[in-house]
Structure 1
Amino acid sequence: MRIGFTLPQMGPLAHQAHEIGRFAKEAEELGADSLWVGDRILAPVEPSVGYGGGDGIPEVFRTVLDPFAVMAVAAAATERAEIGANVLQAPCYAPALLARSLTTLDLISEGRLLAGFGTGWSPEEYLAAGVPMKERGARLDEALDALEAWWTTDPVEFEGTYTRIPAAHVGLKPARRPHPPVYLAGFAPAAMRRVARRADGWLPVAQPGSGAFAPGSVNTPMAQVRRLAAEAGRDPSVLGLILRVYPTPEATLEEVVATITDAGRETDVDHCFVELMNIAHDVDHALELVRRVLGTAR
């Protein structure tokens, strides 16, 4: 099992932005295989849609660093660990700007970028981004098309419903060819179909502290994705899985390790990462958790 961890980006860790490089370097030295960011634009005071089916927004989302900047620092501070996003809200970004940022990150990391995308859930974030939320699925599809064009052609030219890139010279292409692996999140039927048609893999979630890991929460949706991929003429065996291990604030280290172990034994997951924002008080504590997880889970 390859095991990664989130970077100091959200919650208490965001107050130590100057420590991102040290965390990334030391986590890699401890054996972390990947380092990750998420994407929160804002935490509304009166959310119209709460997080995870609840009524409110977790306090950790009140302090969030820019994901692209955090990934750049981590990429420059490391040599081996992959640098991942789980997930960027692609519909909230102009595709040309998203492509430029991700290409830059892939080049800084010398081909270690893992690009994960989703559509988010907050109407207030879409309002702040100036994008109609009802268009989020179509905009994600169009962003994927535009990224493909940006990464694989030169000159680049693209025209869709929401995006127009006039013929332009784009001389920098990703180090990893033909482009960085693209993973997609989501459990809705449309999201599953999108993974099956065009992604390199799926991004499921497990939550230590909320009950024992249920293999069916990964195996059943992934079987559906692979069936849909085969129906679309793709080889289903090429689709990967990267599991986000997202502990509740009450989760124990033993529960985190058990989730990783059970996922490795009972599913096809061979790569996971541990979300630290709910369980780490500061960067030194986060590094201690990295040490303990890697020392126990391997």
Structure 2
Amino acid sequence: MRYGLAFPYVDAHTFIELSQVAEAAGWDGVFYWDGGGTDPWVALTAVAMHTECVRLGTMVTPLPRQQPWKVASEASTLDHLSKGRVILPVGLGVIDLEKMGIVKDYKIRAKMLDEGLEIVDRWWSGEPFSYDGVYYQIEEASGMPSLQTPRIPIWVHGSEKQSQLLRAARWDGVKMNGTPTQIQKDRQAIMAHRTIAAPLDIITEGQTPGDDHEKAAATVRSYAQVGVTWWIEAIWDTPQSTGGVDGMRTRIRQGPPRIE
């Protein structure tokens, strides 16, 4: 199992510093909030220049809000700069995004997400392509290959909804919430639709007590036993609300809830 950190909005200098602390403490990934304010790709690029091995991504990018070719280009550029450390988690975006011009209808957003992912995938191939979708049209474009092959890993949100199960089966990872039993059930449903031979990452998010390793490991172990491959520690909840940046830094330094 790998262990990441989901960062709330913090200024870029703080994000760099906390990411360096995370790498030193043994965390495997840092994921920065993509919801306005600081541009996540600029901030992640700065982190890439100040770290060596920690994986880099957003949590999560609302792809229907943005031009998919721009996201593809930014992620690919960062993948080269970071020597292949990028992950792209995507989703529909929260309902409040309608205030920023995105459509409110989640069914439309879902179709935009699927079209956007097809464009991102083709962009990373580096081969010339055109695209004629309902929401996106490209007459001719040549993208930029990612450094990672066959592509930068794409994570999507998953649940028991049929549309989300089918989407998750197509890509590289699926972020799921719920109990280990619920996640195991949804994972089995996704694998029943999966035709790709590559492994599927299962990601979940939660909180563990950094000052009680045995308790933290017990929590994570129950998820690992049902196939979860990434545990994302949500430091934007209790650590931040009770201690601000210092609280986040303390939890990061305590290290991931690794299973012995």
TM range (shorter): 0.7 to 0.9
Choose from 127, 132, 135 the match for 1:162: 135
> Identity, % of aligned pairs?
23
Q: Report the residue type matching 2:223 in the other structure.
A: A
TM-score under structure 1 length normalisation: 0.76
Deviation at 1:80, TM superposition (A): 0.6
Deviation at 1:256, TM superposition (A): 4.8
Q: Report the residue type matching 1:85 in the other structure.
A: T
- Superposed, 1:1-298 pairs within 5 Å as 1-7=1-7, 9-10=8-9, 14=10, 16-41=11-36, 65-122=38-95, 124-131=96-103, 133=105, 134-170=107-143, 172-187=144-159, 188-196=161-169, 198-205=170-177, 214-229=179-194, 233-235=195-197, 238-245=199-206, 247=207, 252-253=209-210, 254=212, 256-264=216-224, 266-278=225-237, 279-280=239-240, 281-294=243-256, 298=260
Whether the aligned pair in 1 keeps the contact of 2:48 and 2:82 (CA below 8 Å) is yes
Whether the aligned pair in 1 keeps the contact of 2:26 and 2:255 (CA below 8 Å) is no
Instruction: Give, in whole Å, the separation in 1 of the partners of 2:135 and 2:99.
Output: 16
Q: Report the residue type matching 1:273 in the other structure.
A: I
Instruction: Give, in whole Å, the separation in 2 of the partners of 1:80 and 1:117.
Output: 22
SS at match of 1:140: helix
Label 1:240 to 1:140 Cα distance change in 2 as closer, same or farther (>3 A).
same
Q: Any stretches of 5+ residues in structure 1 without a counterpart?
A: 42-63, 207-213
Instruction: Give, in whole Å, the separation in 2 of the partners of 1:186 and 1:31.
Output: 28
Instruction: Give, in whole Å, the separation in 2 of the partners of 1:228 and 1:295.
Output: 32
Instruction: Give, in whole Å, the separation in 2 of the partners of 1:261 and 1:114.
Output: 24
Label 1:257 to 1:173 Cα distance change in 2 as closer, same or farther (>3 A).
same
Q: Any stretches of 5+ residues in structure 2 without a counterpart?
A: none
TM-score under structure 2 length normalisation: 0.86
Label 1:80 to 1:137 Cα distance change in 2 as closer, same or farther (>3 A).
same
Q: Report the residue type matching 1:242 in the other structure.
A: I
Instruction: Give, in whole Å, the separation in 1 of the partners of 2:35 and 2:87.
Output: 18
Deviation at 1:252, TM superposition (A): 4.6
Equivalenced residue count is: 252
Instruction: Give, in whole Å, the separation in 2 of the partners of 1:70 and 1:129.
Output: 24
Superposed CA deviations along residues 147-187 of structure 1, whole A, max 9, x for unmatched, are 111111333432211112232344x3211122101111131
Deviation at 1:282, TM superposition (A): 3.4
Label 1:129 to 1:75 Cα distance change in 2 as closer, same or farther (>3 A).
farther
